Amino acid sequence: MTNQTQSELIGTGNGFIAALDQSGGSTPKALRLYGVNEDAYTSEEEMFGIIHDMRARIIKSNAFNGERVLGAILFERTMDGDIDGKPTATYLWEDCQVVPFLKVDKGLADEENGVQILKPMPDLGALLDKAVSKGIYGTKMRSVISAASPEGIKAVVAQQFEIGKQIIAAGLMPIIEPEVTISIADKAQAEEMLMAEIKAQLDALEGDQQVMLKLTLPEVANTYKPLADHPRVLRMVALSGGYDRDEANTRLAQNSGMIASFSRALTEGLSAQQDQSAFDATLNTSVQSIYDASVAG
């Protein structure tokens, strides 16, 4: 179904997956944290050009390679761009030995029953075909759970797996991401419900179908351990979900069978104003701490 070498690396390698997939809605905040305010660009194209340069700077850093970073999730425009004259996904794999993934969702629907399911993706088939042609290994799509709602959580997981099967059929590895909001009072209850719904969907997969899971760091350590051990799960990764890097790493290290797939926590402390030496040193500290937390479990 997929490149066997990449599957083995993602399935058993030591390290983590970098999330470099901020899209239109989250890009201005990511740039502000990077020291680039809205007055630095006058159009969406300029904004995306700056964020691509930031991602390229991360990927080209000597701190970013397959020794500690197993994979990287890209936004479509990043996939369509180049790094030193090579398509981004090709550069990641050939120059860094980092497996490329692609964010495929088009954002979230309005909240209903305490959750936000994925917006319709009418062009998903064409996007998956393009991803395959560009050497992408897998995909990611994010839903949000903001309450311990049995009906809502069931709908989120059902939709994720329905689309996941389409992604598998296209020859790609889906990352199922039903994020639980970290600030809700009933987070632990929502996570128990989510675990049960995911297990039911995993049990129903057929043949050699496998998925990856990207889940919020749980309130109770190892809540999701049965999912990590499930034969239909290639790898389980964690999102930082708004926790700062230290808190995310502390929580991650307590969860067996779970590695990081951090976005903001990965880029914490990086700045457009840093010279290359300072940038590389800051990124190296971040990468090492997330790596250590990922292998601790």
Give the pLDDT of residue 1.
41
Across 170-185, average pLDDT: 98
With bands split at pLDDT 50, 70 and 90, how would you rate the model's confidence at 26? confident
The model's pLDDT over 82-98, given as tens digits with 9 standing for 90+, comes to 999 999 999 999 999 99
Give the pLDDT of residue 91.
97
Q: Catalytic annotation on 268?
A: no
238 pairs with which residues across the strands? 215, 260
Distance CA 240, CA 252 (A): 9
Of the candidates 140, 154, 177, 179, the residue annotated as catalytic is 177
With bands split at pLDDT 50, 70 and 90, how would you rate the model's confidence at 138? very high
Residue 29 has pLDDT above 50, yes or no: yes
Across 203-207, average pLDDT: 96
Give the pLDDT of residue 167.
98
Residue 2 has pLDDT above 70, yes or no: no
Q: Catalytic annotation on 177?
A: yes
DSSP letters, 134-203, are: TT--EEEEEEEE-S--HHHHHHHHHHHHHHHHHHHHTT-EEEEEEEEPTT-TTHHHHHHHHHHHHHHHHH
With bands split at pLDDT 50, 70 and 90, how would you rate the model's confidence at 297? confident
| pTM as predicted | 0.95
Q: What Rg do the C-alpha atoms of the chain give, in angstroms?
A: 18
